[in-house]
Structure formats: structure tokens, C-alpha cells
Amino acid sequence: MAHEDLKGRSLLTWLDFQAPQIRYLLDLSKTLKAQSRGGELHQRFLGKTLALLFEKRSTRTRCAFETAFGEEGGHPVFLSTADIQLGGKESLEDTARVLGSMFSAIQFRGFKQSTAETLAKFSGVPVYNGLTDDYHPTQALADIMTLEESFGSSKGRKLCYIGDGRNNVARSLLVICSKLGIHFTIICPASLAPDPALVEICAPLAAATQARIHFTEDLDQVKDMDALYTDVWTSMGEEDKKEEREKLLKPYQVNQSLMKRTGRSDTIFLHCLPAVKEEEVSTEVIDGPQSRAWDQAENRKHSIKAIMLATL
């Protein structure tokens, strides 16, 4: 059974998961959302503790983990780099061992993917990647959940990401779409195309699910897409590249005229947030009727609760 295999597992990248396990988590996310909407109260994390480690800022991810865990009787503890040693005075391995002895699970948001891996290796408890430079897996689950809420299913749907094709969000979408059979196009300048090493890893996964994966600079490729997705032009930690990115990505703004080029009125707009309005997306689109960005933000909480319930 997919869910039995998930007990005790860390979520560092979707590359480590099988499609039926991701499917199980998507279905559980929807069940939990319905329970929450129905006002059901549960205490499924009673007696459990969660360390929330943040090297980078967060609104949604922190609040999703903290409220999802706390409202079910768990005790979340927020720890920024100003509060604890994280490879500072003591080694990361030592911090991981100590946290593992006191917490049921650890969420890490920060720079290096290797930090999340080390925490998982030495803590002995599930570690959830709440965003690194390389991946943002909990985001991708909420994204696919939102796609499915809009269209009833995700397999065979056409998702198009426009913007910085190298970033954590684009990379996680590339992996999850390849695993689930979702056609995935990235429209971006050639210099911001996804890492060829990751593309190579995903190619056989996509072949197995018949997902068509495609990279292009051509904005006409938005034609007939089910969803257009964008993210900030400059990710956290890359602030020195802001001017260069603005120049490169200006033609790639998702605005009403680009939405029209899909040739469809039911194409949805997705954004992981935070958004810089009038840069990667016009205010008209993100605040308009085709936007699902706010559902997507709410879905972070239900899908993160699903990940914790399945693994704890």
C-alpha cells in the first residue's frame, strides 16, 4: 500500500517517490481540505513535535506547517538561524542528532539541498524540504492539487511555466509532472533553461508516463495550455541578479494579452507566491477570474498536513 511505505519518510525531492505515493498524497490532501471545510476537528498530531528551521523568509510555508500541525494537537517550534546553530558553532550533523532526539519531524527551508539531506541522514526523523535553492516539493504538491481541483484530473493536462526555468519551483514541477504524466512546457530565455542534468534524469520518467516535456523561448507555445504558471524573476538568495533578470524576463510577463494567446477562456493562472505584481505577472491577471493563486496558497496547508500525516 502506497501510504504504508510513506511512514517515516522524508520529503527532500519528488525524485525519491513513486507515482502511486504522490497520488495517495494528492487524494489525502483533498480529503483533509474537505474535513477542514466541514469543520471537523481532529488531534492527529497530539503528543508530536515539529522543528521548523528557516534560513530564508517565508509566509505560506511557515504558516501552513505551523497551523496544520498545531491545530491537530502537535507542538511546532519555529527556529531561525538567529536562534540556533546550523552549521555555525557546531556541525550540522550534531544539530541534526540533537533535533532528532527531541522532535518527531523537522522542516527545513534554506539554501543548500545538501543541508536538508544531512538533516535527514543524521536526525533519524522525517525531514520536509520547505524550499532550497534546488527544489520546492511541498509547493509542487499544492500546485498539482490546484490543477486537479480546476480540471478534475491532472494526467494528460498541459501545464506551462513561464519565467526562470532554472529555479526551485520550475525544477520541482519538472519532476512531479514527469512522474504523473502531466505535459510540461517551460517558456524561458535560453540562458534560464533548466539544468540539463535534471532534464536527463526526468526524461525516462516522463517517457514512462507519456508526459511531453518541452523547453522553448517561443511565447506562442502558450496556445491551448490548461494552466500558465509563473514565479518571481529573482529567487531568494539571488538578489544580486535582479537587474539582469528584469531585462531578460521582461518580455515573459504573464498578462492579459498572453492569457488570450492560449486561445482558451478556461486556462487557469497559477503562481506559488509571493508575487511581484507588474513584474512576472500583471495585477489584472493575478487578481482576475482565471487566477487560482489564492486557492493554491490555501492548498499549501492541506497538502502539507497530508505529507505530515502520511509520514508521521
Whether residue 226 lies in the annotated active site: no
Of the candidate spans 73-81, 100-108, 165-173, 303-311, the one that interacts with ligand NVA by CB under 6 A turns out to be 165-173
For CA atoms 192, 195, 196, 198, the dihedral sign is negative
177 a catalytic residue: no
Catalytic residue check, 139? yes
Interaction residues for ligand NVA, span 106-135 (CB under 6 A): 131
Residues 25-84 interacting with ligand CP (rule: CB under 6 A): 58-61
Active-site residue, 212 included: no
Name which of residues 215 to 274 contact ligand CP (CB under 6 A): 272-274
Q: Identify the residue whose cell numbers are 498572453.
A: 258
* Least Cβ distance, residue 58 to ligand CP (angstroms): 3
156/274 with CB nearer ligand CP: 274
Contacts of 92 (CB under 8 A, 6+ apart): 86, 115, 118, 119, 122
Nearer to ligand NVA, 78 or 111 (CB): 111
What is the C-alpha separation between 280 and 252, in angstroms, rounded? 7
Please write down the long-range contacts of 113-120, taking CB distance under 8 Å and 24 or more positions apart: 113/12, 113/13, 115/55, 115/86, 115/87, 116/10, 116/12, 117/12, 118/92, 118/93, 119/53, 119/92, 119/95, 120/10, 120/12
CB 162 within 8 A of CB 282: no
59 binds, among ligand CP, ligand NVA, none (CB under 5 to 8 A by kind): ligand CP
Compute the distance between CA of residue 3 and CA of residue 14 in angstroms, rounded to an integer.
15
Among 168, 172, 253, 291, binds ligand NVA (CB under 6 A): 168
State yes or no: is 5 an active-site residue: no
3-state secondary structure at position 213: strand
Q: 104 in helix, strand or coil?
A: coil
167 binds ligand CP (CB under 6 A): no
Binding mask 248-287 for ligand NVA (x = CB under 6 A): ------------------------x---------------
111 scored as a contact of ligand CP (CB under 6 A): no
Binding site for ligand CP (CB under 6 A): 58-61, 131, 139, 272-274
Catalytic residues: 109, 136, 139, 231, 272, 300
